[in-house]
Chain A
Amino acid sequence: MDKIKVLVAKPGLDGHDRGAKVVARALRDAGFEVVYTGLRQTPEQIAAAAAEEDVDVVAMSLLSGAHPHLFPAVVKLVREKGMKDALIIGGGVIPDGDIPALKEAGVSEVFTPGTPTGDIVEYIKAHVKK
């Protein structure tokens, strides 16, 4: 009865939530349980929610350009909670050039605009640690 549990979070000051909602619904349709926490989450809130919910995946959505700071901040705090196996992914408006640094910081994959939601589902299924 194991379900893949995903936290879809929007860190920082970014009001564009359509993408996050689209991804959330796609994940639900794929049979995942998606905890959606809404807008304007701090990295601390995201990590705290991730730990309480004991999620398998933390999926961040950001369109404001603050990803170089916020994505690594979330990774650090999530790991500090003891969640060493959680898969951390991101999406939004993220220039290709920024992606290597994000991966260095512990974001496993970044899904930019145009990515079919099915790809995200398959990636999670292939890489989640359960």
Chain B
Amino acid sequence: MENIAEEVLKGNRYALAKAITAIENERENAMEIMQKLYPHTGHAYVLGITGPPGAGKSTLTDKLAKEYRRQGKTVGIIAIDPSSPFSGGAILGDRIRMNDLTLDDGVFMRSMGTRGSLGGLSHKTADAVKVMDAFGMDVIFVETVGVGQSEVDIVKAADTTMVVLIPGMGDDIQAIKAGILEIGDIFTINKADHDGADKLATELNMMLDLDGVMKEWRPPIMKTIANQNIGIAEVVETFGKHHNHIDGNGQLTVRRTERTKNEMLDLLDSRIGEHIRRNVVENGKIDKLVEEIKARRTDPYTEAAKIVSEMLK
């Protein structure tokens, strides 16, 4: 497709799809697309949805998106699923919970695999968010894998982060691991009709109480039964409250500044990594080095320093 960026700005949905593909696959036209679209970003409100697998993130996102649609907003959704560390492939199965939205022209949904990105959210996701932003989406959901580092990563990409938990996941403390308590602006207990919902809410509140630092915004604990559409409007209202809160106290600007900085650093990391891949891995230089290193004729530290100083010439 020609003039992808121009077409995105005109509201062409297929161009939006093509732009995200170009970014994901690091195509040659990706940089030009981002350069042209970047000036048109900064309007969308980005919501991060994270939590353990099976918590109901996709079902919740479906219902939340519908509520935003009822309010006349346009919605972008990026649904991230894990890529196999062995085959590199992935089953991207979040759409299955959001089928109703497929034919809604006010919604654009895209599935992405983590593709080996340790945090689950690479700069590619951030770029995909930007493209949807430039396209004109009012609200953009980023729904993550919900295991490990990605919980922390999502804070970097979102304005408001919601952690979704469900009762009965063994020891409730298990669900409240390091990181989650720190990154949630809102906690939602889904499947709240299950045993243990109240107990989990109490545990969460206790944990938040123990969190010594006095923060201005005390993360609310919401309860939902997503597949029955219960508690949804309240969550959307709470998103709005958080938005107003961080907008009002300047936190939104601080977060977005942090985000821009982190994205810049991620981009630099990625470009440098690319350079290494091309000039050390693909040309076989590294294999020769490994032989020398194995034979103890040199060591990894010396060789790494040499490569870096050559790069910086």
> Which residues of B have CB within 8 Å of A3?
25, 88-89, 113, 115
Distance from B81 Cβ to chain A, minimum over Cβ atoms (Å): 9
Are A45 and B89 touching (Cβ within 8 A)? no
> Which residues of B have CB within 8 Å of A1?
24-26, 115
Are A36 and B26 touching (Cβ within 8 A)? no
B91 located at the interface, meaning its Cβ lies under 8 Å from any Cβ of chain A in the complex = yes
Knowing A1-B25, A1-B115, A52-B102 touch, does A36 contact B17 (C-beta < 8 A)?
no
Are A52 and B109 touching (Cβ within 8 A)? yes
Are B96 and A36 touching (Cβ within 8 A)? yes
Chain A contact residue count (CB 8 A cutoff)? 29
Distance from A61 Cβ to chain B, minimum over Cβ atoms (Å): 14
Which of the 9-residue segments A23-31, A66-74, A88-96, A103-111 touches chain B? A23-31
> Which residues of A have CB within 8 Å of B88?
3, 31
> Which residues of B have CB within 8 Å of A83?
14
Are B103 and A2 touching (Cβ within 8 A)? no
Q: How far is the CA of A28 from the CA of B25 in the complex (A)?
A: 17
Are B115 and A29 touching (Cβ within 8 A)? no
Q: Which residue of A lies closest to B22 (CB)?
A: A54
Q: Which residue of A lies closest to B26 (CB)?
A: A1
B108 located at the interface, meaning its Cβ lies under 8 Å from any Cβ of chain A in the complex = yes
Once A and B bind, how many residue pairs between them come within 8 Å at the CB atom?
A: 84
Q: How far is the CA of A67 from the CA of B25 in the complex (A)?
A: 33
B87 located at the interface, meaning its Cβ lies under 8 Å from any Cβ of chain A in the complex = yes
> Which residues of A have CB within 8 Å of B96?
36-38
Q: How far is the CA of A51 from the CA of B111 in the complex (A)?
A: 12
B84 located at the interface, meaning its Cβ lies under 8 Å from any Cβ of chain A in the complex = yes
Other-chain residue from B13, B91, B95, B102 in contact with A24 (beta carbon distance below 8 A): B91
Are A51 and B25 touching (Cβ within 8 A)? no
Distance from B262 Cβ to chain A, minimum over Cβ atoms (Å): 21
Knowing A2-B25, A51-B13 touch, does A30 contact B89 (C-beta < 8 A)?
yes
Q: How far is the CA of A3 from the CA of B124 in the complex (A)?
A: 14
Other-chain residue from A33, A36, A51 in contact with B113 (beta carbon distance below 8 A): A33
Knowing A49-B102, A54-B17 touch, does A29 contact B111 (C-beta < 8 A)?
no
A41 located at the interface, meaning its Cβ lies under 8 Å from any Cβ of chain B in the complex = yes
Distance from A107 Cβ to chain B, minimum over Cβ atoms (Å): 22
Q: How far is the CA of A41 from the CA of B96 in the complex (A)?
A: 10
Q: How far is the CA of A27 from the CA of B89 in the complex (A)?
A: 8
Q: How far is the CA of A1 from the CA of B115 in the complex (A)?
A: 9
Extra 17 A-B pairs, beta carbons < 8 Å, given A34-B90, A52-B17: A1-B25, A1-B26, A1-B115, A3-B89, A3-B113, A25-B91, A28-B90, A28-B91, A29-B89, A34-B91, A36-B92, A37-B96, A38-B99, A41-B99, A45-B102, A49-B95, A53-B111
Chain B interface residues (CB < 8 Å from chain A): 1, 13-14, 17-18, 20-21, 24-26, 83-84, 87-93, 95-96, 99, 102-103, 108-111, 113, 115
Nearest first, the 7 A-B pairs at minimum CB distance are A28-B89, A38-B96, A54-B17, A54-B21, A31-B88, A31-B89, A2-B25
20 A-B residue pairings within 8 Å (CB atoms): A1-B115, A3-B88, A3-B89, A3-B113, A29-B87, A31-B89, A33-B89, A33-B90, A36-B91, A37-B95, A37-B96, A37-B99, A38-B96, A51-B13, A52-B17, A52-B110, A54-B17, A54-B20, A81-B14, A83-B14
